[in-house]
Structure 1
Amino acid sequence: MTALIPLHGSAAARALDQQASARLAGGAFELMQRAGHAAWRVLQARWPQARRITVACGPGNNGGDGYVLALAALQARCDVVVLHLEDHTPRTDLAQRACTDYIAAGGRVALFPEQFPPADVVVDAVFGIGLARAPEGQAQALIEAINAQPAPVFALDVPSGIDASLATAPGAAVRAQVTLQFIVRHHGLHTGAGLEHAGVLLLDALDVPSDLLQMSAPKAQLLQPASLATWLRPRRTDTHKGESGRVLLIGGDLGHGGAIALAAEAALRSGAGLVSVATRKAHVTPLLTRRPEAMTHAVESGSDLQPMIEAADVIAIGPGLGQGDWGRALLRLALEAGKPLVLDADALNLLAATPRVLRDAIVTPHPGEAARLLGRSTRDVQADRFGAAAELCTRLQATVVLKGAGTLVASEGQLPRVIAAGNPGMATGGMGDVLTGVIAALRAQGLPAWEAASAGALLHSMAGDAAAQRGQRGLLASDLFDHLQPLANPEPN
């Protein structure tokens, strides 16, 4: 089984904090000391030239972590100012103790909005995990001021304003360059708005006993590039093309031939043994000219498609399919074929109009398609990406790849996986078509639906990152092809 990094929910993180505190001789304040000093070490390592440190502290224990950091910076002879709102004086015993220690050492405190001291680094210790609603009033103004000032922002545990349980920003939220998570990784910082606001994600387990960590059930798992070799083993010397699978790609209605062409080349570059394409007659010659290895056929009716279905090991349908009579007829045949399926794009839009339970299928919606399948808005999907993916699994009885920042892979009975790869340059037309081809190829090579979806989403994102080395802006879906083949042949672990 591939190594996966556990990601925890907010409730589990709070419980671990309490359990760890109970184990320590110095109790919860010792754990706070560890957190503050761990954060100070990261600040020193990331910004070694920083001498002016502004620490924005809230009233809770996240603010207490900030006071501990501020004291450490003060003792290192930095120019330190703790900034807080008038009604954000410490409210917990731990935060009050940390604040008292800081002030007793000569630490300065400033009130917002009266001041916002110039800084080389601003530390966000306002709310952390403690806020699950939109900040209001002066709290909102403080977060907006943190984002507006020019210095880099370092968030403690969770950027203030992010709901780490839902991976969303219900209102104003700090945009950090670096976020240091304490004890465990928060699942809500690895996808959606959480990933957008957290910047570089780091972890310090604060020397919490490993048995405590092992007893805590994760909410999700982080799938990293090093895991790809687990699925893509070197082939035997006497391998023949039939063993690598026969993929049938269906799509490319009139005027949309590019989508199915991208999917076909992606399937070939990802190792499918044979790739057949069922498309409109107008697209046959261009596709053969571009990629002669794809066996491309003109399909105008169901009778044209049936022999291709019978020969296929896996059917992928949707890229450029359209939502007209042609697309609907071909989708009906694909759904009735009893073969492993990969559905994307217009296949999902048609499915949303006539919902049905899928078996042994993989669906790859972006948030808009997921919203249509669920009868909701795209905003609703993005407000709870984990929940949306889980509901799609239940409704469709399928493996779901919910695309976007921090792509999610979900299936009934499995912990969801978050893809730790990909970049904003991939938000461009055709990327989903390439993903369809990649997943179909891996499914045809013998991976079960859950593993094919996981490995395919990871391979696709890694290829996007490799292609983006020349820059994210202007990245094309076809730029991934040069990288799919080498990445699909990783060195064994």
Structure 2
Amino acid sequence: MTFRPLDVRTLREWPLPALAHDADKEERGRVVVVGGSREIAGAVQLAGVAAMRAGAGKLVIATAASVAVQVGRAVPEARVIALPESGSGALRADGLGVLADSLEGAAAVLVGPGLMDPEACVPFIVQLLALCRGIPVVLDAGAMDAVAAMGRFEQPVLVTPHAGEMAHLTGIAKEAIARDPESVARRASAQWNASVALKGAATLVATPDGGGWRHDGGHPGLATSGSGDVLAGLIAGFAARGATLEQACAWGVVLHALAGRTLARSVGAVGYLARELPGVVPGLVEKAARPLRRSPAPKAR
């Protein structure tokens, strides 16, 4: 089965779940973003704001205690939960109890942006996943190290590696991945029972049932610090609104690229910042949701 093209036309033919005009913030879903560290505090901020810009109704950010106050000031829209850290900066599994209330009723969970010492965080992530049964989960950045410990997932999970991260997760050489990324993405998705977004100049989205999408509309300006955190946040935000992980990923990948192209026109081809991407997303969502214009039928002579 070949990977189907993923673009704006795809989104228009695959609309997001409808929101009632009087929908409140609870109906638009609560997204929980887990990650951050004393050295990378901004990643959860970028992801959380992106999730809100995608349309999520409520935001919880669970981050390292050493930066929780800083994050709360930077993102006043969020409830911020301070998580205990180890000496190396890893999040400790014995601190998961403070997250239980926020996970109950969550519509989507994003784990990974800004994690420090990912290997040491694996016990925390594995136990966190056990608390997220039935909740769509996006594993990004350092949280993907939990793949080896899990083997196969028994819940809806999306993993978002670039080629280097995929090489780390699979043991396949980066050069071999570059030669046949579609096969690698498909095999990983089937093996892990998870959707896989293999990021690159062309981004591939593979699903455990053998389906797949290919997006070729990336932009060089998106190769900047924090851009991946924004993409992960967009995906989590669309999932919080009720989209499946596959659909949320499709919308996130296309809108992320369109946001880059939009900023390239106003700022320059490179040099715009990841923090600027979420701000242009709501308008792009509205444009992408508009029905396709059909050419009028020719008049009879």
Pick the TM interval, shorter chain: 0.7 to 0.9
Q: Which moved more, 1:266-275 or 1:343-352?
A: 343-352
Residue 325 of structure 1, CA deviation:
7.5
> SS of the counterpart of 2:80?
strand
Q: Which amino acid aligns with 1:308?
A: S
Counterpart CA distance in 2 for 1:324 and 1:410 is 24
Choose from 422, 428, 439 the match for 2:218: 422
Mapped to 2, the partners of 1:287 and 1:486 lie a distance apart of 26
From 332, 337, 340, the counterpart of 2:136: 340
Alpha-carbon separation, structure 1, partners of 2:101 and 2:124: 13
Give distance in 2, aligned partners of 1:459 and 1:411: 20
Residue 242 of structure 1 aligns to a residue whose secondary structure is: coil
The answer to whether the 8 A contact 2:107-2:242 is kept is: no
For residue 310 of structure 1, report the CA deviation from its aligned partner.
Answer: 2.0
Aligned to 1:357: 152
Higher RCO, 1 vs 2 (CA within 8 Å, ≥6 residues apart):
2
* Aligned 8 A contact 1:435 1:460 in 2: yes
In the alignment, what sits opposite 1:331? 125
Find the structure with the greater CA-based Rg.
1
Query: Residue 196 of structure 2: which of 378, 385, 400 is its match?
Result: 400
Distance between the aligned counterparts of 1:383 and 1:476, measured in 2? 31
CA separation of 1:219 and 1:307: change in aligned 2, threshold 3 A:
same
Does 2:104 match 1:310?
A: yes
Contact kept? 1:399, 1:453, Cα under 8 Å = no
Question: 1: distance between equivalents of 2:245 and 2:127?
Answer: 20
Query: What is the CA–CA distance in structure 2 between the aligned matches of 1:328 and 1:302, rounded to whole Å?
Result: 13
* Match in the other structure for 1:492: 290
Aligned-pair RMSD on alpha carbons? 1.9
Residue 226 (structure 1) aligned with residue 9 (structure 2): yes
- Is the contact between residue 197 and residue 205 of structure 2 (CA under 8 Å) also seen in structure 1? yes
Residues 467 and 232 of structure 1, relative CA distance in 2, 3 Å threshold: farther
SS of the aligned residue for 1:287 comes to helix
Q: Is the 8 A contact 2:17 2:243 kept in 1?
A: no
Which amino acid in structure 2 is aligned with residue 240 of structure 1?
A: D
Residue identity opposite 1:310 in structure 2: E
Report the count of equivalent residues.
275
Gaps of 5+ in 1: 1-217
Q: Is the 8 A contact 1:409 1:416 kept in 2?
A: yes
TM-score of the pair, normalised by structure 2: 0.85
Residue 274 of structure 1 aligns with an amino acid whose one-letter code is K
Match of 1:465 in 2: 261
The amino acid that maps onto 2:68 is V
SS at match of 2:27: helix
Q: Within the alignment, does 1:250 sit opposite 2:34 as a pair? A: yes
Instruction: Sort the Cα spacing of 1:325 and 1:423 in 2 relative to 1 into closer, same or farther, 3 A.
Output: closer
Deviations 1:61-85 (A, max 9, x none): xxxxxxxxxxxxxxxxxxxxxxxxx
CA distance in 2, matches of 1:345, 1:325: 12
- Contact 1:248/1:277 (CA < 8 Å) preserved in 2? yes
Partner of 2:249: 453
Looking at structure 1, the residues matched to 257 and 17 of structure 2 have their Cα atoms a distance apart, in angstroms, of: 19
TM-score, scaled to structure 1 = 0.53
Counterpart check, 1:294 vs 2:88? no
